[in-house]
């Protein structure tokens, strides 16, 4: 399953935060999570993370691993081909 996490920081991230995030991503890989993309953005959100997880429960666990200064709004993403089959 694909998930899109819209990320908002409540404070300016530091180099230490970036290092901790890298370690967390490695832990999440062991849970079957794969980062598809991670982008810093302008506008309403500070970053966007696109990731794959085996199921919703794993995605929920991943999102609870975020530090306190990170707030997310998460969307489940379905590929167009899957939607075409559903609507088919």
Percent of all residues in the chain with a pLDDT value above 70, rounded to a whole number: 100
The whole-angstrom separation of Cα 86 and Cα 64 is 30
What is the reported pTM?
A: 0.87
pLDDT digits (tens, 9 = 90+) for 17-53: 999 999 999 999 999 999 999 999 999 999 999 999 9
**Residue 88: its pLDDT value, please?**
86
Going by C-alpha positions, the residue among 1, 12, 3 that lies closest to residue 72 is: 3
């Amino acid at each position: 399953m694909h998930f899109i996490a819209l990320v908002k920081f409540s404070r300016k991230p530091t180099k230490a935060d970036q290092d901790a995030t890298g370690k967390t991503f490695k832990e999440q890989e062991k849970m079957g999570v794969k980062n598809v993309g991670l982008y810093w953005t302008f506008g309403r959100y500070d970053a966007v993370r696109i990731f794959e997880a085996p199921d919703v429960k794993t995605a929920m666990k991943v999102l609870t691993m975020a530090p306190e200064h990170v707030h997310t709004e998460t969307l489940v993403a379905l590929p167009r081909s899957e939607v075409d089959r559903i609507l088919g």
